Amino acid sequence: MPDNAEIMRNELGTAPGMIFSRNGLTCYVMPGVPREMKAMMTAHVIPRLQKQSGGRAIKIRNLMTTGVPESTLYEQLDNLAEIEKVVRVAFLPSLFGVKIRLMAVADDAAEAEARVAAAEKLVREKIGAAIYADEDIPLEEAVARLLLERGETLAVAESCTGGLVANLLTNIPGSSKYFERGVVSYSNAAKMQLLKVPAETIERHGAVSAETAQSMAKGVRDLAATDYGIAITGIAGPGGGTPQKPVGLVYVACGDEGEIVVERHTFANDRLGNKQRSAQAVLNLLRKQLLKKQP
Amino acid sequence: MPDNAEIMRNELGTAPGMIFSRNGLTCYVMPGVPREMKAMMTAHVIPRLQKQSGGRAIKIRNLMTTGVPESTLYEQLDNLAEIEKVVRVAFLPSLFGVKIRLMAVADDAAEAEARVAAAEKLVREKIGAAIYADEDIPLEEAVARLLLERGETLAVAESCTGGLVANLLTNIPGSSKYFERGVVSYSNAAKMQLLKVPAETIERHGAVSAETAQSMAKGVRDLAATDYGIAITGIAGPGGGTPQKPVGLVYVACGDEGEIVVERHTFANDRLGNKQRSAQAVLNLLRKQLLKKQP
């Protein structure tokens, strides 16, 4: 039995919310309809939490990193002791990168914000290049914002990711402003016919090679007449690997009017993970190229 | 405090498993590494559960349906009372369709299997056409198996799904045997240039129209020289809708050497949901066309 139970009014629907307390712990139960839940959260839950915290303010900032392993970030952040004097720090790794969460608890909101800002500055001094956003958004959204800001356009040529990169980029509303087209050139015929990858390139270096990745990026950019062309070719697995070219070997490329940059990655023996890591790698390469040319 | 606590040996790693019992309920705790968990499940947990069940056997069959709403399936299954005499039935709806779960509990495995088989037959009599698999696999895997069995190939032209259909099809290992290429023709230029959709078709009927969907399916099949060409064009939202063509309007098309079939769908105001429902719709259309021509 709870020590206390109350009903929260639902201003936008019929299902009420509930508040239970027991042994000093409080559970807030809200309806599942997002609109109703958000209104109830704002009107009832947050004011109670603020009151309960004795007016103390909490500020959280998520610094989103990708492309650098957690252990490397940790080594590079040799000022962590200093950072932890002003905020609590959490490293939250996933397939997509490491989220660094900074949390400040202070007597008022301005103080909490100042502490988070100071900590963010210290983090950026050490690992700024790995941070793609200061809020919890996926990499494709950060890249989309850069392209939209600059009014630039993109075309994608995919082999092992099989459409995943185009799919991620078109998950963002308004993507038609920067995403012109994608080609999923799964067969060699498609690579040669649509992307004009020379047959000799595939014969000499293989479909999974730096040369083919480069040629695909150039080919799709030429075909679509966009500012950028990106490409991915690799061996997602579980089949198709050889001793020289094992499952998980992936080349990603990014081309603009000036140059085509290629990166080689070796991931694991996990088809879906390899598709996701490859997508993340090519989007991060594009992000780096975009930032190089920062106006 | 539990009434009983035991350790389960881990033959493949260092983290042991645990068994707690209290008030007749038992909780099995296993390591998170899939390989270790599966070995422990097989060696320790399943034998205990079998013993605990007094030797009674449980058989579950999942019949996967798509494209027909739960309420319609329920109406069509007017023999449900008969089915429920031999198995327990659960309707489990999701964005992708309705999973119909049949569960038989019997004195031995043969009896449980016989009951599930009898129930499946009764279900198939009424709604057989909506069932794409008798195990819990996604629709793209069922379609992939049909294509592999027949040695047939596929190319995909996508507009509003933005690469999702290609991505789903290439999630299946070995997909290069049937998936030749995909084109994400997001811009009208890409539709005209790569898929040879006539400018007049887009001008007269719009990029989101039965005529454009049909022309995209034909175009990608011709381009790739595959057995099948499928296409999707629609308004995923949140922007881009008009009173005549609201957000959620989608056309899907499937062409083979004989005909091109087009379906019109109206989904909701939810970009990611619309992408997924559209992908499911075009894959189901392809499935139906494949089954029409069953050898």
Sequence-distant (≥ 6) Cβ neighbours of residue A116 within 8 angstroms: A59, A60, A61, A87, A102, A103, A104
Say whether residue B237 is in contact with chain A using an 8 A CB cutoff.
yes
pLDDT at B284: 98
Contact A181 B187 (CB under 8 A): yes
Sheet holding A25-29, edge to edge: A4-8, A17-22, A25-29
CATH 3.90.950.20 domain locations along chain B: 139-292
Tell me the pLDDT of chain A averaged across its residues. Answer: 95
Contacts of A179 in chain B (CB under 8 A): 162, 186
Instruction: Report the run of H or E that residue B51 belongs to, with start and end.
Output: helix B46-52
pLDDT tops 70 at residue B165: yes
Fold of B139-292: Maf protein (3.90.950)
Rounded to two decimals, the ipTM of the complex is 0.89
| Nearest-neighbour CA in chain B from A182: distance (Å) | 5
Question: Is residue A218 over pLDDT 70?
Answer: yes
Which residues on B lie below 8 Å from A236 (Cβ)?
A: 170
Q: What is the CATH number of domain B57-133?
A: 3.30.70.2860
Whole-angstrom distance, CA of residue B177 vs CA of residue B144? 9
Instruction: Determine whether the interchain pair B173/A237 forms a contact, defined as Cβ–Cβ distance below 8 Å.
Output: yes
Token representation of residue A124:
């950026």
Report d(CA A282, CA A277) in Å as an integer. Answer: 9
B162 closest CA partner among B182, B134, B132: B182
Q: Where in chain A is the domain with CATH 3.30.70.2860?
A: 57-133
| Subunit contact A170:B186, Cβ cutoff 8 A | yes
**Confidence band for B111, pLDDT divided at 50, 70 and 90:** very high
Confirm if B185 and B216 have CB atoms less than 8 A apart: yes
CA distance linking residue B110 with residue B93, whole number of Å: 29
Report residue B33's pLDDT band, with 50, 70 and 90 as the boundaries. Answer: confident
pTM (2 decimals)? 0.89
A13 phi and psi, to 5 degrees?
-160, -170
- The closest CB to that of A176, out of B156, B174, B186, belongs to B186
Does the distance separating the beta carbons of A183 and B184 come in below 8 Å? yes
* Residue pLDDT, tens place only, B176-213: 999 999 999 999 999 999 999 999 999 999 999 999 99
Q: Distance (Å, rounded) from C-alpha B215 to C-alpha B229?
A: 10
Task: Let me know if A274 is exposed, middle or buried by CB neighbors in 10 A (0-12, 13-18, 19+).
Answer: buried
pLDDT of residue B295: 66
pLDDT band per the 50, 70, 90 thresholds, residue A295: low
Asked if the C-beta of B179 comes within 8 angstroms of chain A's C-beta atoms, the answer is yes
* Interchain proximity A183–B182, CB inside 8 Å: yes
CA pair distance A165, A157, nearest whole angstrom: 9
In DSSP notation, A145-165 reads: HHHHHHT--EEEEESTTTTHH
Q: What string of DSSP letters covers A71-135?
A: HHHHHH-TTHHHHTTTSEEEEEEETTEEEEEEEEEESSHHHHHHHHHHHHHHHHHHHGGGEEESS
Q: How many CB pairs under 8 A join A and B?
A: 136
Radius of gyration for chain A, computed over Cα atoms and rounded to the nearest angstrom: 24
Residues 47-76 of B with CB under 8 A from A: none
Burial class (CB in 10 A: 0-12, 13-18, 19+), B255: buried
pLDDT digit string (tens) for B119-133? 999 999 999 999 999
Q: A286 — phi, psi (to 5°)?
A: -60, -45
Q: How confident is the model at residue A33 (pLDDT cuts 50, 70, 90)?
A: confident
> Contact B166/A166, CB-based, under 8 Å?
yes
pLDDT band at residue B269 under the 50/70/90 scheme:
confident
